[in-house]
Amino acid sequence: MSQSPAEIIHDYGPFPDVDAVHGVTYDGLHVWFATGNRLSALDPANGQTLRSIDVTANAGTAFDGEHLYQIAEDRIQKIDPQTGDVVSTC
């Protein structure tokens, strides 16, 4: 397997009221980051937080092209990023 070093193209933060980031994903438009009690969408062009979804967000964040997936304690939440609704858990 071929390997190459990652290139850091931009640092963001610090963010008000955020002690730690527990997961990060990119939906093609926004960078989503998990901070324990919410998922926040960041505009990568200017670093501004655009909106937040109040959900448990302890670790691991992913995007599949349609939904966000967020680890919340002992379950995985499937979240509609448009509405912020948790559409299912497993």
Q: Judging by DSSP bridges, how do beta strands 59-63 and 31-34 pair with one another? A: unpaired
First to last CA, the chain: 33
pLDDT of residue 16: 87
Task: Give the per-residue pLDDT at 1.
Answer: 85
- Domain ranges across the chain: 23-89
- pLDDT tens figures, 19-56: 999 999 999 999 999 999 999 999 999 999 999 999 99
In angstroms, rounded to a whole number, what is the distance separating the alpha carbons of residues 79 and 54?
11
- Which of these CATH numbers, 3.30.930.10, 2.40.10.480, 3.90.230.10, 3.20.110.10, describes 23-89? 2.40.10.480
Instruction: Supply 87's token pair.
Output: 């559409």
Find out whether the peptide bond into 16 is cis, omega within 30 degrees of 0: no
Confidence band of 10 (pLDDT split at 50, 70, 90): confident
Q: Residue 61: is its pLDDT beyond 90?
A: yes
**How much is the pLDDT for 71?**
96
Rounded to an integer, what distance in angstroms lies between the CA atom of residue 30 and that of residue 25? 8
Q: Whole-prediction pTM value?
A: 0.89
